[in-house]
Amino acid sequence: MRETVDLLLTGGTVVTMDARWTIVPDGAVAIQGRQIVAVGSAAALAERFAPRETIDCTGCAVIPGLINGHAHVPMSLLRGMVADQQLDVWLFGYMFPVESQFVDPEFCYVGTLLSCAEMLRGGTTTFVDMYYFEEEVARAADEAGIRAICGQTVMRLPTPDAPSFDVGLERARRFIEAWRDHERIVPTVAPHAPYTCTDRIYREAAALCRRFGVPLITHLSETAHEVETSIREREVTPIRYAKRVGAFDVPCIAAHCTHATEDDIRLLREAKVGAVPCPTSNLKLASGIAPYRRLIDSGVRTGLGTDGPASNDDQDMFTEIQLAALLPKGVSGDPTAVPAREALALATCWGAKAVHLDHLVGVLEPGKRADIAVVALGRLHTAPRYTYSPEAIYSYLVYSAHAADVRDVLVDGRLLVRNHALLTLDEGEIVRRSQAIAERINTFLAHRERDLLAKIIALGGVQQAEIFEIQVKARLGPGGEPLVERILSSPEVAITKTSVRTQYDTYFLFRNRERVRIREDHRTDPGARPEPKYTVTLMAEAVRGEYPHAIVLSRARYTALADHTGRFYREYFQPDQVVELEKRRKRWRIIYKDHDFALNLDTLVGGGADPGPYLEIKTRTWSSRDAAERAGLIGELLALAGLDEHAMVKQEYVDLA
Ligand SMILES: [Zn+2]
């Protein structure tokens, strides 16, 4: 009497990825409910089981469903948006501004559907995510039928779904409580990375994980810069820091570990942390190449991930597996460094350990969940077939098969892909909804690329200064300071502040006559703040009004603290011309007839410009009537100095240079 089972996959080469690397040519897998009940030869299983449904897998490889150990799946909607930029330009110039504007529940839901469709069609049956509105990621993943660990991202900066980290942690708690009993979805919390989190965020996230028995997801040691900064500021590597703040007291999944040191690798092994390098992303963002061989040899639970589709740009685990086999060979000069079968293990049996799901998936053996991919071989790029060594199957799977070769996919015993077609998701509808969201982002970026103000505002922290700037500039002869002295010694003038500074200005000039100024301002007078101040200012084209003694400029002037490098701004703004200017400035803030003015005695250094000195008298206001009055007062101050029209200079310094 044969035993009834739901499904029999029969006739393929079964690559079990079990502890003995068992391969069954002309094998079969029997599935009952959610579980695998038997793996063996097709003949033996045909004798033993009476299946309700049989799928002929002749000419195919039957493998454990692939495990994508690190992803940000809603970001598939940002695929192709920006490429080939430095990480800071990519992140602060594009990703963060677009995310803050567009990431909402719908974005996360639709983006996850798109990713699930792509991943399932490519044989991925489990993914580990960290993003925002993770309940929407979980909802879409549940509809798709895929398996997922969904981490609600928390960081100290405001995020699209939480204005502060307390709110983020509270969101994570509610999310975990709502989804904790789901059979395929593991809800959890994901403190983003040591450089975006505080000790408290990590400790509280770990406490949540301990309370609900879920793993903690984070990014660790992705770039050399991150490791250097961590050592400088915290005196430890990001990995040691993570241990110190409790992240390793619970099962942890650490993305990247690209720059793990020997000491780090020991910590990862001892704490059973899953290390998940993302080969394509690490290459594309020039983060480096993870020490795959060292991680494996040291017994660290190692997996593989795609990372977000904005830095990959697909979620094709076949590519990641192939790179994990090729990269260590290339950097070590040893073609045996990571053999094909170990590269496949990183995305199956070992990957399951890395994401702490090895009790359920990663291996085809009785008792495990039926998460299976059937890969069609014998196509142009996978033909002909050598079978004298069973091991050759790893070579086909790793070096020549593609995601598109995946024919059938099961998760938890349920067929989700059959003959390359999705059974749970409507591919056309998902692409249509994704395109609708991309159109909105497209319009936003197209507008912003033309608009410098929008680009500055996208960086955050911008303040607008007064609209009207009233100024006069005069070139003084040698020994100009006594002229300034005449103004300052007037009984009607009260000095409120003085300073001495050196200013390094970089002007970005644009064909539309807009200008962006990056200023590095060093106070050099005794007792002044030692740190230079960096600002970025947009100076839109001025409307000039010439008054008898002064020029009134009405213009929008926006300033923000400049907390990126000069290189960042150059790449971000892409100016048509760059002019650099250095000047020494002695400045007096004065009150004259109830109005405040700044007197600058400036000397230009280097460059082709006339060094001066120059006297600038400046003031600002929001009111046009007030502007006219102040222009008159500037005339009086000039008269005090005994300066006349001949000394006037109408150009700005950048135009003199
Ligand atoms: Zn990531």
- Find the 497 Cα to ligand 1 centroid distance in Å: 49
- Find the 618 Cα to ligand 1 centroid distance in Å: 49
- Find the 164 Cα to ligand 1 centroid distance in Å: 20
Q: What pLDDT does 638 receive?
A: 87
pLDDT exceeds 70 at position 137: yes
pLDDT exceeds 80 at position 25: yes
Q: What pLDDT does 542 receive?
A: 63
State the DSSP code for 560.
E
- Find the 51 Cα to ligand 1 centroid distance in Å: 42
Q: At what angle do helices 427-450 and 105-121 cross, to 10 degrees?
A: 130
- Find the 255 Cα to ligand 1 centroid distance in Å: 6
The sign of the dihedral angle between the CA atoms of 33, 39, 41, 45 is negative
- Find the 496 Cα to ligand 1 centroid distance in Å: 51
* Mean pLDDT along residues 118-145: 98
- Find the 35 Cα to ligand 1 centroid distance in Å: 31
- Find the 609 Cα to ligand 1 centroid distance in Å: 49
Domains of the chain, CATH where assigned: 66-361+420-444 (3.20.20.140), 453-656 (2.40.320.10)
- Find the 190 Cα to ligand 1 centroid distance in Å: 11
State the DSSP code for 380.
G
* Mean pLDDT along residues 60-77: 98
The two structure tokens encoding residue 450: 């033309």
* Mean pLDDT along residues 335-356: 97
For residue range 45-65, list pLDDT tens digits in order: 999 999 999 999 999 999 999
Q: What pLDDT does 554 receive?
A: 66
Can you tell me the distance from the alpha carbon of 442 to that of 77, in angstroms, rounded to the nearest whole number?
Answer: 11
For residue range 223-249, list pLDDT tens digits in order: 999 999 999 999 999 999 999 999 999
CA-wise closest residue to 632 among 564, 510, 547: 547
Residues near 9 by Cβ (< 8 Å), separated by ≥ 6? Answer: 28, 29, 31, 55, 57, 62, 372, 374, 408
pLDDT exceeds 90 at position 147: yes
- Find the 317 Cα to ligand 1 centroid distance in Å: 15
Instruction: Report the mean per-residue pLDDT for the chain.
Output: 92
Describe the chain by its helix, strand, coil percentages, rounded to 5: 35, 30, 30
pLDDT exceeds 70 at position 555: no
Residues near 419 by Cβ (< 8 Å), separated by ≥ 6? Answer: 407, 408
- Find the 70 Cα to ligand 1 centroid distance in Å: 6
- Find the 231 Cα to ligand 1 centroid distance in Å: 21
- Find the 218 Cα to ligand 1 centroid distance in Å: 8
> In angstroms, what CA-CA distances link 498 with 408, 532, 601, 654?
76, 17, 11, 24
> What residues have a C-beta under 5 A from ligand 1, the ion?
307
Lowest-confidence pick of 84-93, 165-174, 397-406, 593-602 = 84-93
Q: What pLDDT does 556 receive?
A: 61
Three-class SS of residue 324? Answer: helix
Kindly report the backbone phi and psi dihedral angles of residue 85, in degrees, each rounded to the nearest multiple of 5, phi listed first.
-120, 160
Q: What pLDDT does 456 receive?
A: 77
- Find the 364 Cα to ligand 1 centroid distance in Å: 29
- Find the 436 Cα to ligand 1 centroid distance in Å: 25
For residue range 562-581, list pLDDT tens digits in order: 888 888 888 888 899 999 99
- Find the 287 Cα to ligand 1 centroid distance in Å: 12
- Find the 129 Cα to ligand 1 centroid distance in Å: 9
Can you tell me the distance from the alpha carbon of 13 to that of 42, in angstroms, rounded to the nearest whole number?
Answer: 10
Largest CA distance in the chain: 116
- Find the 144 Cα to ligand 1 centroid distance in Å: 22
- Find the 193 Cα to ligand 1 centroid distance in Å: 9
- Find the 549 Cα to ligand 1 centroid distance in Å: 59
* Mean pLDDT along residues 248-261: 98
Please provide the size of the chain in residues: 657
- Find the 153 Cα to ligand 1 centroid distance in Å: 11
Q: What pLDDT does 540 receive?
A: 67
Can you tell me the distance from the alpha carbon of 16 to that of 334, in angstroms, rounded to the nearest whole number?
Answer: 27
- Find the 192 Cα to ligand 1 centroid distance in Å: 8
Q: What pLDDT does 567 receive?
A: 87
- Find the 88 Cα to ligand 1 centroid distance in Å: 15
Q: What pLDDT does 541 receive?
A: 62
- 499 falls in which pLDDT band (50, 70, 90)? very high
**What is the DSSP track for 484-542?**
HHHHHTSTTEEEEEEEEEEEEEEEEE-TTS-EEEEEEEEE-STTS-SS-EEEEEEEPPP
